């Protein structure tokens, strides 16, 4: 069947399409129907089925006689170690850890925060939670204690599972001060912390609260899989919104299993047993869907890579991993390729490895710029597929359905809508615009299985953030267009979210941090274009009257404040002191114009601007940092 036929088949009978896809999942009780629309515009999928995620990701492969197949390959150039874990090993390890959690009172519906770097134990912790029907929330290691505390207070975990440290090039990041600090800051106190000790920085255990990963498992009964309802939350993953309080995206169990399993063949074109590698981090949605759950549910081998595209030890690391482990489909963010290209523009490292195993490269997480795509295509000689999705959806909204039919690649487009998504471009009034015209990208409700049914403890915010601008649609927050062949183009965010090295960050959240500096009266944060990371945050600071300390000191304090409050991942290093910010007459800061000036782009002077002369002051200030870059 062609893509067009599959898509049309879904559109004609979505219920039948998803019930058929659900056949590939082991249910403890089969769902009687796919979609539940009783509470529209809130929808649920497979709500009356009973199912367990861990059974589908681990145990069923062992039961089917594939226990000897590799489930996880841990490849850590940063520590110089490797480990291979079969499905049978994984089952033993996960059942034992789940037993330890159960013995300490963790059960169905309890929340557990996981704060771990790229080690296989992070996946084991996720799977142990899902084995018990507990709801995990993984927090990325690059976030500071304050961000962890915000998440603790929002999801109120019974336990935290942490590693003693993460390792970045040139430095070991002890996690103990981070989770200790977060627990101290948070109002909610988790009952216990399970600590996976790593030799690079051993954590001191707090008596009565902390328990060692292995000691906790001593003498406990391995736990069985607990069936849960199809609409039971599998996990909560926080992502940046327009304010400093992150949104807890809820992932429903049944739809998650069905949709991810469907994507592995139809989008990533792998068969069970093939090695699939997503070079991301378990702290992001790509890590949830395509380092942990997707490949394991589908019976693939997944790679847990602890390293960077460059510097661990060189720009050939990716090619080594691909050839050494026989990777068939590879997924990463464009920024990783830009980093490699910068270090090894001629691709000399690539020539050292046989990459015959690799069938295609998949890029997502940020806009894939044409230069990077062309460079990657030339270097690898295989198709490079851009695909577009979000934490909220958990899987591809628009991509190249290579397992159904490899569509011709149009550089600059992530290709076409996947079955399940009726993607439309709307004008401000919510009317569809003609092909080729720009507008807000929206998806006609219901969203497909696996996508967010709501936000954790924040249904109103869910409705306001996603459902209210265009009634009957999900608002993606991206703007773009569809061409005459149905190809989608993603142009920009419509909100204050920026994308730094494939990481989604909130400029509003950063402004809240800057505003907390005692000398800052007013501020704005924008995303400026960056050759490597796509965007970088830049802060504009207006000082409180009477402050006459050196500006450089205040800027440095703001940079440190951001690192302490949000974390190194914010990559906030650029800030400027200015007298005034450009505003409309009604007082709205003209951030869009500031972005245009920083990036050296043309713009139309808004009729509503209060005082155009401020733009010259902004230009002068930017010039001191070398912006716009030529
Ligand atoms: N724990 C602690 N700190 C972390 C971290 C983690 N898990 N991940 C990143 N950081 C730190 C980095 O060390 C860096 O600190 P520094 O300011 O002291 O240098 C800072 O956060 C910013 O990190 P990053 O934006 O990743 O920049 P980088 O210069 O270290 O690396 C790339 C640049 C392009 C190599 C890197 O961003 C990369 O590999 N990107 C791949 C993108 C990706 O996987 N995206 C996920 C979505 S698909
Ligand atoms: P996240 O939720 O962190 O995955 O970020 C999702 C956002 O990243 C999207 O809403 C887009 O703004 C951006 N994004 C992700 N993938 C792409 C892509 N392939 N092309 C353009 N932007 C993308």
Angle of the 551-565 helix axis to the 145-155 helix axis, nearest 10: 40
Angle of the 145-155 helix axis to the 176-185 helix axis, nearest 10: 50
Report percent pLDDT > 90 for the chain: 97
d(CA 315, CA 551): 38
d(CA 442, CA 560): 38
Q: What is the value of pTM for the model shown?
A: 0.96
pLDDT at 496: 86
DSSP annotation of 350: G
Position 71 pLDDT exceeds 80: yes
- CB of 534 closer than 8 Å to CB of 365: no
Average pLDDT, the chain: 97
pLDDT at 480: 97
The DSSP code sequence of 99-129 is HHHHHTT--TT-EEEEE--SSHHHHHHHHHH
Residues of the chain with CATH 3.40.50.12780: 3-480
Q: What is the pLDDT of residues 259-290, one digit of tens each?
A: 999 999 999 999 999 999 999 999 999 999 99
Of ligand 2's listed atoms, the one at least distance from the Cα of 504 is 3
Instruction: Produce one character per residue of 545-578: b if its CB has 16 or more CB atoms within 10 Å, e if not.
Output: eeeeeebeebbebbbebbbebbbbbbbbebbbbb
- Residue 308 near ligand 1, beta carbon < 6 Å: yes
The DSSP code sequence of 500-562 is ETTEEEEHHHHHHHHHTSTTEEEEEEEEEEETTTEEEEEEEEEEPTT--S-HHHHHHHHHHHH
Residues of the chain with CATH 3.30.300.30: 501-623
| Residue 389 φ then ψ, to 5° | -160, -175
Q: How far is the CA of 390 from the centre of ligand 2 (A)?
A: 6
pLDDT-derived band at 529 (thresholds 50, 70, 90) equals very high
Q: At the topology level of CATH, where does 501-623 sit?
A: GMP Synthetase; Chain A, domain 3 (3.30.300)
- Residue 364 near ligand 2, beta carbon < 6 Å: yes
Structure tokens at 172: 């070991």
- Residue 526 near ligand 1, beta carbon < 6 Å: no
Q: Which ligand is nearest to the CA of 306?
A: 1
How do 520-530 and 534-543 pair as beta strands? antiparallel
The CA distances from residue 124 to 58, 89, 282, 557, in Å, are 10, 11, 11, 39
Structure tokens at 616: 């010259």
Q: How far is the CA of 437 from the centre of ligand 1 (A)?
A: 35
d(CA 84, CA 89): 9
Position 441 pLDDT exceeds 80: yes
Return the best residue to mutate from 238, 385, 388 for the ligand 2 pocket (most ligand atoms within 8 A of CB).
388
Of ligand 2's listed atoms, the one at least distance from the Cα of 391 is 2
Q: How far is the CA of 499 from the centre of ligand 1 (A)?
A: 12
159-163, strands of its sheet edge to edge = 210-212, 192-196, 159-163, 111-115, 135-138, 233-239, 247-252
Structure tokens at 345: 């523009």
Q: What is the pLDDT of residues 215-252, one digit of tens each?
A: 999 999 999 999 999 999 999 999 998 777 899 999 99
How do 159-163 and 111-115 pair as beta strands? parallel
pLDDT at 362: 98
- Residue 537 near ligand 2, beta carbon < 6 Å: no
Position 416 pLDDT exceeds 80: yes
Torsion of CA 103, 109, 112, 113, to 10 degrees: 180
Q: How far is the CA of 142 from the centre of ligand 1 (A)?
A: 8
- Residue 502 near ligand 1, beta carbon < 6 Å: yes
- CB of 274 closer than 8 Å to CB of 325: no
Q: Which ligand is nearest to the CA of 568?
A: 1
Cβ neighbours for 39, distance < 8 A, ≥ 6 positions apart:
none
Task: Note if the bond before 41 is cis, omega within 30 degrees.
Answer: yes
Q: H or E segment at 615?
A: helix 613-624
- Smallest CA-to-CA distance from 132 within 99, 162, 157 is with 99
For residue 72, the cross-strand partners are 85, 302
pLDDT at 241: 83
Return the best residue to mutate from 376, 500, 568 for the ligand 1 pocket (most ligand atoms within 8 A of CB).
568
Position 630 pLDDT exceeds 90: no
Helices (H) and strands (E) in the chain, counts: 20, 31
Residue 69: exposed, middle, or buried by beta-carbon count in 10 A (0-12, 13-18, 19+)?
Answer: middle
Q: How far is the CA of 366 from the centre of ligand 2 (A)?
A: 5
Q: How far is the CA of 502 from the centre of ligand 2 (A)?
A: 8
Q: What is the pLDDT of residues 452-492, one digit of tens each?
A: 999 999 999 999 999 999 999 999 999 999 999 999 999 99
Q: How far is the CA of 259 from the centre of ligand 2 (A)?
A: 19
The beta-carbon contacts of 599-602 under 8 Å, at least 24 apart in sequence, are 599/528, 599/529, 599/628, 600/627, 600/628, 600/629, 600/630
d(CA 507, CA 570): 10
Return the best residue to mutate from 335, 343, 499 for the ligand 1 pocket (most ligand atoms within 8 A of CB).
335
d(CA 392, CA 42): 14
Task: Note if the bond before 578 is cis, omega within 30 degrees.
Answer: no
Q: How far is the CA of 35 from the centre of ligand 2 (A)?
A: 27
Q: What is the pLDDT of residues 15-27, one digit of tens each?
A: 999 999 999 999 9
- Residue 387 near ligand 2, beta carbon < 6 Å: yes
Q: What is the pLDDT of residues 189-209, one digit of tens each?
A: 999 999 999 999 999 999 999
- Residue 136 near ligand 2, beta carbon < 6 Å: no
CATH of 3-480, one of 2.40.40.20, 3.40.47.10, 2.60.120.10, 3.40.50.12780: 3.40.50.12780
Q: Which ligand is nearest to the CA of 287?
A: 1
Q: Whose CA is nearest to atom 43 of ligand 1?
A: 280
Q: How far is the CA of 582 from the centre of ligand 1 (A)?
A: 32
Q: How far is the CA of 140 from the centre of ligand 1 (A)?
A: 11
Three-state SS sequence of 151-186:
HHHHHCCCEEEEECEEEECCEEEECHHHHHHHHHHC
Structure tokens at 417: 């809508």
Q: Whose CA is nearest to atom 20 of ligand 2?
A: 367
Q: What is the pLDDT of residues 39-66, one digit of tens each?
A: 999 999 999 999 999 999 999 999 999 9
pLDDT at 417: 98
- CB of 101 closer than 8 Å to CB of 129: yes
Query: Can you tell me whether residue 629 is helix, strand or coil?
Result: coil
Return the best residue to mutate from 79, 117, 122, 168 for the ligand 1 pocket (most ligand atoms within 8 A of CB).
168
Query: Can you tell me whether residue 279 is helix, strand or coil?
Result: coil
Q: How far is the CA of 469 from the centre of ligand 1 (A)?
A: 34
pLDDT at 244: 78
Of ligand 2's listed atoms, the one at least distance from the Cα of 476 is 10
Region 107-132 average pLDDT: 98
Q: How far is the CA of 535 from the centre of ligand 2 (A)?
A: 13
Q: How far is the CA of 427 from the centre of ligand 2 (A)?
A: 21
- Residue 288 near ligand 2, beta carbon < 6 Å: no
């Amino acid at each position: 069947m062609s893509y067009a036929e599959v898509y049309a088949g879904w559109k004609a009978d979505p219920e039948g399409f998803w019930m058929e896809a659900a056949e590939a999942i082991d249910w403890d009780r089969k769902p009687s129907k796919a979609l539940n629309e009783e509470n529209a515009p809130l929808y649920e999928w497979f709500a009356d089925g009973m199912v367990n995620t861990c059974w589908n990701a681990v145990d069923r492969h062992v039961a089917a006689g594939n226990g000897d197949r590799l489930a996880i390959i841990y490849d850590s150039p940063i520590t110089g170690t490797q480990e291979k874990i079969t499905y049978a090993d994984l089952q033993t390890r996960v059942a034992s850890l789940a037993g330890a959690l159960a013995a300490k009172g963790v059960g169905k519906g309890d929340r557990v925060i996981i704060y771990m770097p790229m080690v296989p134990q992070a996946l084991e912790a996720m799977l142990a939670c899902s084995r018990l029907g507990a709801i995990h929330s993984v927090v990325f290691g690059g976030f500071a204690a304050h961000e962890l505390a915000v998440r603790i207070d929002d999801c109120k975990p019974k336990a935290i599972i942490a590693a003693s440290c993460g390792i970045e090039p040139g430095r070991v990041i002890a996690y103990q001060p981070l989770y200790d600090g977060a627990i101290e800051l948070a109002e909610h106190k988790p009952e216990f912390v399970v600590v996976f000790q790593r030799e690079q920085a051993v954590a001191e255990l707090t008596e009565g609260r902390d328990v060692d990963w292995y000691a906790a498992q001593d003498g406990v009964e391995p736990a069985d899989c607990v069936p849960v309802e199809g609409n039971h939350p599998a996990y909560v993953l926080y992502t940046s919104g327009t304010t400093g309080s992150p949104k807890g995206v809820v992932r429903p169990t049944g739809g998650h299993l069905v949709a991810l399993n469907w994507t592995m063949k139809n989008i990533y074109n792998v068969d069970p047993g093939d090695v699939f590698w997503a070079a991301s981090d378990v702290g992001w949605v790509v890590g949830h869907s395509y380092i942990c759950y997707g490949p394991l549910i589908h019976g693939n081998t997944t790679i847990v890579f602890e390293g960077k595209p460059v510097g661990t030890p060189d720009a050939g690391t990716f090619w080594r991993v691909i050839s050494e482990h026989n990777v068939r489909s590879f997924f990463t963010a464009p920024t990783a390729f830009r980093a490699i290209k910068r270090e090894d523009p001629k691709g000399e490292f690539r020539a050292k490895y046989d990459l015959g195993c690799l069938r295609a490269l998949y890029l997502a997480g940020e806009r894939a710029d044409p230069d990077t795509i062309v460079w990657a295509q030339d270097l690898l000689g295989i198709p490079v597929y851009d695909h577009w999705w979000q934490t909220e959806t958990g899987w591809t909204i628009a991509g190249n359905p290579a397992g159904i039919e490899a569509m011709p690649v149009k550089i600059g487009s992530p290709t076409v809508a996947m079955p399940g998504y009726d993607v439309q471009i709307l004008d401000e009034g919510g009317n569809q615009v003609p092909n080729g015209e720009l507008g807000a990208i929206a998806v006609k409700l219901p969203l497909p299985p696996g996508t967010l049914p709501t936000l954790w403890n924040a249904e109103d915010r869910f409705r306001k953030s996603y459902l209210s601008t265009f009634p009957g649609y999900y608002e993606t927050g991206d703007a773009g267009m569809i061409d005459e062949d149905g190809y989608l183009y993603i142009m920009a965010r419509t909100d204050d979210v920026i994308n730094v090295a494939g990481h989604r960050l909130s400029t509003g959240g950063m402004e809240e941090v800057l505003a907390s500096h005692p000398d800052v009266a007013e501020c704005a944060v924008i995303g400026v274009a960056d050759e490597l990371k796509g965007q970088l945050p830049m802060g504009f600071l207006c000082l409180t009257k009477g402050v006459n300390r050196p500006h450089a000191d205040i800027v440095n304090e703001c940079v440190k404040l951001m690192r302490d409050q949000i974390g190194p991942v914010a990559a906030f290093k650029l800030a400027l002191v200015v007298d005034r910010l450009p505003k409309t007459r009604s007082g709205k800061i003209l951030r869009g114009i500031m972005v245009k000036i920083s990036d050296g782009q043309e713009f139309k002077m808004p009729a509503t601007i209060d005082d155009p002369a401020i733009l010259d002051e902004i230009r002068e200030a930017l010039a001191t940092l070398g912006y716009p870059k030529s």
